[in-house]
Amino acid sequence: MGAAISAMAAPSLTFAQFSAPAVVASPTLQQQLDEWYRQAIRVAPGTWGIAIASQDGQLLWAMNPTTQLIPASTVKVFTTGYGRSMVGAEARRSTRVIGAGHIDPLTGAWLGSWSLEVNGDFTLGRTGRSGPSLTDLARQLAEQGVRSLTGPFAVVTEFGTAEARFPSVWANRHRGRLFAPPVGPLTVNENTVTVRVTPNRVSGRAPVIADASPLGLTYLISNRARTVDGRANRLRVLATPEGRFVLTGTIGVRAGQRTLSAVSSAPEALLEAAWRHALSEAGISWESSTAMPAETGMASPTVLAEVTSQPYDSIATEVNSRSSNLGAELLLRWAAGSDHLTAAERLTAHVRQVTGDPIGVSLVDGSGLSEDDRASAWSFVAYLARFPFLPGGRNFALLLPANGQGTLRNLANGLPAEGMVRAKTGTLANVASVTGYLGRRDGVLLISLLYNGSQTGAARQQQWRLFRLLGADGVTLPAESEQLGGEGISLPPPPLVP
């Protein structure tokens, strides 16, 4: 690994912007790329940053490769790599009940203090998706003989304060949107709620809440909606500042079931409701008085119950496939440990070290939702080339969705087989980006296409057109391959951009 480590040194020359292809590819590939770009810039005028490299990081074709652009969710490529290098592929997040005291053998009452420790598990308490449940946590208490708890809802975390907030680096216009929930260790059901509503059979009456998630949400919902004649649906779920929800509006008696979602404005209230439901399901009563019973029998707190997430790689794969902003921010906090306030700075330093480019990346979050993030196309292909050869990087490509999956579902057609592409997209109102690996018979291509401009839909179509063009004779990327990284393989230094 000595050669790989030495290759991380910054190049001696200054990176400069340029608008002509660098190292020339084969004549056929060169012609394909020239023709593609002429059409792309015509139908999607704006600023393009393009870098296409061989699997060893040698630049084959580029347009403005070192220009810093807004990358959007392609930032998650860096975040998942950084997190993996810090915590490891098999690491798991824990949620615990912590307490000091003992169980009354006659009544089953817990005598002493207790609290719920949350640590930013993106998958905790979700309905319909994988992840540990609060019900399992409560059942562990019941299996030990606990039949009742007394005391206020106390939430702690391993590091810092158990809270979740809207990040200051995200634009305020995103506040309250499903893709931008509050971020922090206090997370349950991704800090969102879902309600399924069926119209009442009688016009004028309240519709029926058929299902709600997370479990326990019904404690917080006020149903002020009304069933009316017809098929129209004008229902809404509104979040209150106190953490409650109001179902309002109207639904037609013949409208059928409708599903509504909203972001929690106070995740602690949502977590408390979910915990109360979990305790009830486990047969444990909870008297949420303002005082705890006197502590007896134990000198210091201990773990009374614990549930854990799936391994890091499973979570990172889902985050990239769904492009979850909350998930990416929690992965970044996980990697940063107790010092989450400098997490974005550490992420930036990690990318600069791996790529050897001291100026190509400047990040303020881990999700790419902030328009203050900056990255170059070159920084992405350099990272794709080099990170798989570093500790924590083996088979890194498999953390990215394949063509036909997740955010690459529109690449289901036009390529010979699924798994030829492993890539991450990014989308904002003024950004369309994609970066990743493309398998070809003559080797793996590293591709980064960044577009900043007003024609994001047209730009995305051109990006997919390029992947289909270059992948027409492609092959499936192997799960284990020296092409995508492995122990004991040296990678050449990054090419210097003229």
Alpha-carbon span 357 to 8, nearest angstrom: 9
Nearest Cα neighbor of 368 from 73, 35, 68 is 73
Point out the domain boundary residue: 272, 295, 310: 310
Q: Same domain for 317 and 437?
A: yes
Q: Same domain for 200 and 300?
A: yes
The domain that holds 337 is classified in CATH as 3.40.710.10
Point out the domain boundary residue: 293, 310, 327: 310
- How does pLDDT run across 465-487, given as a tens digit for each residue? 999 999 987 888 876 544 454 44
On whether residue 493 sits in a domain, the answer given is: no
pLDDT at residue 127 is higher than 90: no
Q: Same domain for 404 and 419?
A: yes
Domain count of the chain? 2
Alpha-carbon span 160 to 341, nearest angstrom: 11
> Mean of the per-residue pLDDT values for the chain?
89
On whether residue 459 sits in a domain, the answer given is: yes
Handedness of CA 176, 182, 187, 190 (dihedral sign): positive
* Sheet architecture: strand order including 302-308: 155-156, 110-117, 94-103, 302-308
Whether the CB-CB separation of 476 and 419 falls below 8 Å is answered with yes
Q: Same domain for 362 and 430?
A: yes
On whether residue 287 sits in a domain, the answer given is: yes
Q: Range with the lowest mean pLDDT among 102-106, 113-117, 153-157, 414-418?
A: 414-418
Nearest Cα neighbor of 236 from 326, 176, 287, 312 is 176
pLDDT at residue 22 is higher than 50: no
User: Which is it for strands 443-452 and 47-54: parallel, antiparallel or unpaired?
Assistant: antiparallel
Alpha-carbon span 312 to 318, nearest angstrom: 10
On whether residue 496 sits in a domain, the answer given is: no
Q: Same domain for 215 and 357?
A: no
Q: Same domain for 304 and 206?
A: yes
On whether residue 489 sits in a domain, the answer given is: no
Q: Same domain for 319 and 461?
A: yes
Q: Same domain for 197 and 294?
A: yes
* Residue in this structure with the two tokens 């390529």, named with its chain if needed: 415
The Cβ of residue 294 has, within 10 Å, a number of other Cβ atoms equal to 9
Q: Same domain for 286 and 267?
A: yes
Q: Same domain for 391 and 463?
A: yes
Compute and round to an integer the Cα radius of gyration of the chain.
Answer: 26
Point out the domain boundary residue: 263, 280, 310: 310
Contacts of residue 366, defined as CB under 8 A and 6 or more positions apart, other chains included, come to 75, 76, 78, 79, 328, 329, 331, 332, 333, 343, 344, 347
Sorting pLDDT into bands at 50, 70 and 90, what band is 15?
very low
Instruction: Please state the rounded mean pLDDT for residues 64-92.
Output: 97
Nearest Cα neighbor of 426 from 489, 374, 486 is 374
Q: Same domain for 343 and 400?
A: yes
On whether residue 497 sits in a domain, the answer given is: no
Alpha-carbon span 367 to 389, nearest angstrom: 24
- How does pLDDT run across 249-287, given as a tens digit for each residue? 999 999 999 999 999 999 999 999 999 999 999 999 999
Name the helix (H) or strand (E) containing 79: helix 75-87
Q: Distance between alpha carbon 425 and the CA centroid of its chain, in Å?
A: 12
Report the pLDDT value the prediction gives residue 291, as an integer from 0 to 100: 64
Domain containing residue 237: 93-310
Report the pLDDT value the prediction gives residue 2, as an integer from 0 to 100: 28
Sorting pLDDT into bands at 50, 70 and 90, what band is 293?
low
Report the pLDDT value the prediction gives residue 290, as an integer from 0 to 100: 65
pLDDT at residue 495 is higher than 70: no
Whether the CB-CB separation of 288 and 115 falls below 8 Å is answered with no
Report the pLDDT value the prediction gives residue 312, as an integer from 0 to 100: 98
Report the pLDDT value the prediction gives residue 145, as an integer from 0 to 100: 97
Using CB atoms within 10 A of its CB, is residue 165 exposed (0-12), middle (13-18) or buried (19+)? exposed
Q: Same domain for 305 and 345?
A: no
Q: What is the largest CA-CA distance in the chain?
A: 84
Q: Distance between alpha carbon 237 and the CA centroid of its chain, in Å?
A: 24
On whether residue 498 sits in a domain, the answer given is: no
On whether residue 348 sits in a domain, the answer given is: yes
